[in-house]
């Protein structure tokens, strides 16, 4: 029989940004956080680079942010969820800054924000350019570790949720060092991330395998966040990454590894609409004929974008100048 522990606070599965934020928000109640991986490992938030988008500027507001998001979502956004996310976004950024996240600042102390695709205003708050995820996680981890109300159990993997006769979740069956323990609690939070690690090639941490989503589904949960209705809909992978021998590269890897660079005509091709969809990531890329392209991809017959194969280097050069092709239709 497994051991049994009665916890008089919130039991949280997952020690990423969502899990630790939930633990901090649970105060003054105690929180017990279970993490299958060491802190800052196997955590998607620690890999994030771009920053956090929020309507923090004087010329911006959450309604405009929501409108930009819905327009870019092309019918896939839930308007209520979008409105809530954009409304609470500014306060979330300020709260993380109060926890110690070192967001870039302007001379007057305001957040330094950049303009990115689909946004009509500069609203992306960054840390040292592209180090937001790691810096935010380090600040949140430090605050959680310093709290007397939060206990963190590393190397603790949840094998099942414990339910009572009515189906209500009352705790979890946890494996630690090969030993099973039942932990019962008045409230259970699942914050264990997505399932990007199930893919052979991914820009998500390989430890993220959808275990929390599976546990929720087995316990009868509906409307799990990555679904549209009841059908799996979307999975994100960054198209600005490379892969080698099936290993996953976080997007920062291209700065430190000799990943293929964009071709010399990249900007020109975009201006002239010489593009076709990439067979790997669906991004638009230069549509050079095969004889001007050196395939690095295992699928040489497919059109591949500048990062997944690259339409490369000196092969573009011709004695009489750059080659010309008809515009894509």
* 30 shares a domain with 138: yes
Q: According to the model, what pLDDT value does residue 47 have?
A: 86
Q: According to the model, what pLDDT value does residue 204 have?
A: 82
pTM of the prediction?
0.70
- Divide the 329 residues of the chain into consecutive groups of 10 and give the mean pLDDT of each group: 90 95 95 92 85 94 96 88 96 95 94 91 91 93 96 93 93 93 95 83 82 88 57 60 49 40 36 39 42 37 38 34 36
Q: According to the model, what pLDDT value does residue 238 have?
A: 65
Whether residue 245 is contained in a domain is answered as no
Q: According to the model, what pLDDT value does residue 290 have?
A: 43
Q: According to the model, what pLDDT value does residue 224 have?
A: 63
* 322 shares a domain with 265: yes
CA distance 205 to 17: 14
Whether residue 91 is contained in a domain is answered as yes
Domain limits for position 104: 50-129
CA distance 118 to 93: 20
Q: According to the model, what pLDDT value does residue 49 have?
A: 81
Which residue, among 50, 79, 53, has the nearest Cα to 67 in the 3D structure? 79
Q: pLDDT digit string (tens) for 213-271? A: 889 888 888 766 544 444 455 666 665 555 444 444 454 444 433 333 333 333 333 33
* 188 shares a domain with 123: no
* 215 shares a domain with 153: yes
H/E segment holding residue 6: strand 3-6
Long-range contacts of 92-101 (CB under 8 A, 24+ apart): 92/52, 92/54, 93/52, 93/54, 93/56, 93/125, 96/52, 96/136, 96/139, 96/140, 99/24, 99/139, 99/140, 99/143, 100/139, 100/142, 100/143, 101/127, 101/132, 101/135, 101/136, 101/139, 101/140
Note whether 111 and 103 are within 8 A (CB).
Answer: yes
Note whether 242 and 249 are within 8 A (CB).
Answer: yes
Domain boundary among 235, 270, 305: 235
* 321 shares a domain with 188: no
| CB-facing half-sphere around the CA of 90: CA atoms within 13 A | 15
């Amino acid at each position: 029989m497994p051991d049994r522990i009665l916890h008089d606070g919130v039991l949280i599965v997952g020690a990423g940004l969502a899990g630790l934020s939930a633990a901090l928000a649970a105060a003054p109640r105690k929180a017990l956080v279970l993490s299958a991986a060491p802190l800052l490992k196997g955590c998607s938030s620690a890999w994030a680079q771009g920053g956090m988008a929020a309507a923090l500027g004087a010329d911006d507001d959450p309604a405009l942010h929501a409108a930009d998001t819905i327009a870019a979502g092309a019918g896939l956004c839930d308007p209520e969820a979008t409105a809530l996310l954009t409304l609470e976004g500014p306060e979330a950024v300020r709260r993380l800054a109060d926890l110690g996240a070192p967001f870039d600042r302007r001379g007057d102390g305001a957040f330094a924000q950049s303009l990115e695709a689909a946004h009509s205003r500069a609203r992306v708050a960054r840390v040292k350019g592209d180090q937001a995820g790691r810096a935010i996680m380090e600040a949140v981890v430090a605050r959680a570790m310093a709290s007397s109300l939060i206990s963190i159990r590393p190397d603790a993997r949840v094998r099942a949720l414990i339910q009572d006769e009515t189906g209500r979740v009352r705790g979890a069956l946890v494996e630690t060092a090969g030993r099973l323990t039942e932990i019962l609690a008045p409230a259970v939070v699942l914050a264990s991330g997505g399932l990007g690690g199930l893919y052979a090639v991914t820009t998500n941490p390989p430890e993220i395998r959808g275990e929390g989503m599976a546990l929720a589904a087995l316990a009868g949960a509906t409307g799990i966040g990555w679904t549209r209705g009841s059908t799996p809909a979307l999975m994100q992978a960054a198209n600005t990454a490379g892969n080698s021998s099936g290993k996953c590269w976080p997007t920062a890897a291209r700065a430190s590894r000799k990943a293929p660079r964009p071709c010399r005509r990249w900007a020109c091709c975009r201006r002239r609409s010489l593009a076709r969809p990439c067979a790997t990531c669906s991004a638009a890329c230069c549509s050079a004929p095969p004889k001007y392209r050196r395939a690095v991809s295992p699928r040489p017959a497919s059109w591949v974008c500048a990062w997944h194969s690259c339409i490369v280097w000196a092969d573009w050069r011709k004695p009489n100048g750059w080659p010309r092709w008809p515009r894509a239709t």
